[in-house]
Chains A and B, each alone.
Chain A
Amino acid sequence: MITAIGNNFGAGPITFKAYSSADILVLNGQVDVSASDPAFLAAKELEIYLPDQPMRKSAETAVYVVMRKQSSAPFATIVKARIRGGNTICIEKCRLYQYYGDFMLVFACAFVPRGEVGPFTFEGVTAVSASIEDGEAQVWKSNCVVREHWVSLFMDLNPLHGAEEDEPFSFEVAGLPNDIHAEIPIMCCGRASVSGTYVMLAEVTGPRFQVINPSYQELWPYGTKFLKAFFVRGDNV
């Protein structure tokens, strides 16, 4: 776990499940952001201050921004984030707060440095497959790497839906280890808007994905869904 020392946008205590080394920093966690907080409004970019990490600076990576409009499914976009000075996560300020107010940052990402020289060894892929008791879930494309301390997962699913409209459902992804836990968005294609992409939030516990908020109208159950996330394994410090 990494507990942030502070932030510049008025958020409360921030804690990440994390794996940190000089080569990679993987974070899982969420941060609620109040778009009316004076500190947030004054910030040019959002900063989360961490204890010193082994990695001094990183390439840009993507952090999810999940917003909510009244009476609809949540929708999301991604913003740029990077490590600066070994102890600060710098996050691009998403302008959509001007229209939709408060939002949530969802970290299911990895930070890596650049400018490194080889040798480089590619990972073997871990085969994954999805199953569901009531509904349909089929993996169209996937890319899964399982390492000692982290997991990288990309899945393109079509179809993915439960048996009942608007009812929470769960599915399982065989191939994932039991020691991962995070909440991530699942993107619903074909329902994009200028405000982002409609998403379903899923709580991932090992191979089990519990979809919390499906909404038939916005999420179009027969459209393609995809997810991409890094997960920290075990109780890494």
Chain B
Amino acid sequence: MIVLPSIAFDAFAGTAKDVTARRVGGRTVLSVRATHSALFTPAQAVSRNRLSRISRSYRTLSDAERAGWEQLAQRYTATSSLGKGAVLSAHNMFVRLNCNLVMVGGSPITAAPIGLDRVPQVLLTAMYVSSSSVRIEGIEEPDDDLRLVVKMSAAQSVGVSSAWSKTVVVSSSEETDWGELDLTEAFAEVLGVEVEDGKKFFVEMYWADSRTGFTGQVTRISGIAGPAPIYGGSVPSNRAIIRVRDYTTEDQCVFKDFEYELSRGSVIGSCRGSYGYHGSQVNGYAPLDPQTASKFAEHQSYFLARGNDGKHWTINFVEVEVREVSGEPNLIVLPELDYDVYGCEIFDVAAPVNY
């Protein structure tokens, strides 16, 4: 026989079947046990495993550690800024912060963080959602230890006014690329489809502290996918940057994760990535799209390069040029590697000059 909780008894507490009664703030609260949908994605499966693993690990804490979490939960309740303080148990606090930490690539903590960190809200200048790219620009990075968490919904019809409950995490642990975040691949990977222009998308984002697990206020953006940004200005980023992710020339020169960018304050170029070739030492030509090339005058600079092909530690140099070849703009790498070094890693800063 199952005894069901009754509202006739003020002091009733306990669980029967899927209903739990507990005393909160002098009142009896009944809640129904949450159940997972039978259908879930691999990402959700990972998330649920993480949640249960962290939840179970609370039992292994020492008394002193539990006391720390209880104190933190009490302070968190008292300092809630949303009118009435949110009631959070020590266990919930432990699970919430550790889930956040793991999500952003941090390590779980057993000791409660000291104090309540104020995590700022996300500030950005523009967000683009289109079939060609999903990216955020002009993100103000307040702290090196904060990670941007971005959640997005799948495509919704234009008439939908709220789909915030349907957002899923598409990016959580990466640092931004100096204020920019390209989510094109992440969106397709997590949602399983690419963005469809003309459909409506809902985006949530917030900072998470990779040391403590605390999160900031959520920034919400929604809009219809297309060439125009769903938030902010219509002027695209004016960074003078050339990216060559993985490119092999006809001469078998290989650019990998190659990035060349200009900085202000007298123009300084920073260069990183790897460059190599098979056989004889030859120059590498990577064609540039006109929009990228328009940000660069023709110039040259010299960067140090460390041998990475059998001669791991040699110091070499490469000449990097941006100029037209047969009427087409190119990034050109002219290697000056030592006699039997066939590849190099570049990570240097130099002052480029005009021709």
Q: Are B297 and A24 in contact (CB under 8 A)?
A: no
Whether A228 contacts B304 by the Cβ 8 Å rule is yes
Asked if B302 contacts A145 (CB within 8 A), the reply is no
A195 within 8 A of B: yes
Stretch of B104-112, B199-207, B216-224, B335-343 that contacts chain A = B335-343
Asked if residues A77 and B314 are in contact (CB atoms below 8 Å), the reply is yes
- Measured between alpha carbons, how far is A21 from B266 in the docked complex, in Å? 12
B353 touches A124 (CB 8 A): yes
Whether A122 lies near B267 (C-beta < 8 A) is: yes
Is A201 positioned at the interface, with any CB of B under 8 Å from its CB? no
A191 to chain B, nearest CB (A): 8
Q: Which residue of A lies closest to B272 (CB)?
A: A60
Instruction: Kindly state whether residue B168 has any CB partner on chain A within 8 Å.
Output: no
Q: Counting CB contacts under 8 A, is B16 at the interface? A: no
Q: Which stretch in A113-121, A130-138, A167-175 binds the other chain? A: A113-121
From A79, which residue of chain B is reached at the shortest CB distance?
Answer: B306
B319 nearest in chain A by CB position: A141
In Å, the complex CA distance between A125 and B336 comes to 21
Contact of A116 among B263, B315, B316 (CB under 8 A): B263
In the bound complex, how far is the Cα of B177 from the Cα of A48, in angstroms?
Answer: 24
Contact with A along B251-284 (1 / 0, CB 8 A): 0000000000111111110101000000000000
Contact of A154 among B238, B239, B315, B317 (CB under 8 A): B317
Query: Which of chain B's residues have a CB closer than 8 A to the CB of A94?
Result: 313
A187 proximal to B (CB < 8 A): yes
Task: State which of A37-45, A104-112, A208-216 sits at the interface with chain B.
Answer: A104-112
Is there contact, CB below 8 Å, between A76 and B239?
Answer: no
Question: In the bound complex, what is the Cα–Cα distance between A194 and B268 (angstroms)?
Answer: 31
Interface string of A68-96 (1 = CB under 8 A from B): 00000000111010001100000000101
- Nearest chain-B residue to A22 (Cβ)? B265
Q: Is A28 an interface residue (CB 8 A)?
A: no
Cα-based distance from A84 to B144 in the complex (angstroms): 8
Q: Say whether B263 contacts A192, CB under 8 Å.
A: no
B178-196, CB under 8 A of A: which get 1 and which 0? 1110000000000000000
Which residue on A lies nearest to B261, using beta carbons?
A114
Which of B302, B311, B312, B316 has the most chain A CB atoms closer than 10 A to its own CB?
A: B302
User: CA separation between A112 and B336, bound complex, in Å?
Assistant: 24
Q: For the complex, is B197 an interface residue (Cβ under 8 Å from A)?
A: no
| Alpha-carbon separation in the docked complex, A95 to B314 (Å) | 13
With A110-B268, A115-B177 as contacts: A23 and B263 at CB distance below 8 Å: yes
* Contact stretch, chosen from B6-14, B69-77, B285-293, B344-352: B344-352
Task: Please name all residues of chain B whose beta carbon is closer than 8 Å to the beta carbon of A121 when the two chains form the complex.
Answer: 266-267
A120 vs B322: C-alpha distance when bound (angstroms): 14
The contact of B270 among A59, A64, A85, A143, by CB within 8 Å, is A59
With A and B bound together, what is the CA distance between A130 and B355 in angstroms? 21
**Known pairs A21-B265, A111-B349; A62 contacts B304 (CB<8 A):** yes
Of all A-B residue pairs in the complex, the 6 with the closest CB atoms, nearest first, are A115-B178, A23-B265, A152-B351, A59-B270, A77-B313, A192-B338
Q: A60-B272, A78-B348, A116-B239 are in contact. List 4 more A-B contacts (CB 8 A).
A: A114-B241, A115-B180, A156-B317, A197-B313
Q: 18 A-B residue contacts at CB 8 Å?
A: A24-B266, A24-B268, A77-B306, A84-B144, A96-B313, A115-B177, A115-B179, A116-B262, A117-B237, A120-B262, A125-B353, A141-B302, A145-B266, A147-B266, A189-B339, A192-B311, A197-B313, A226-B336
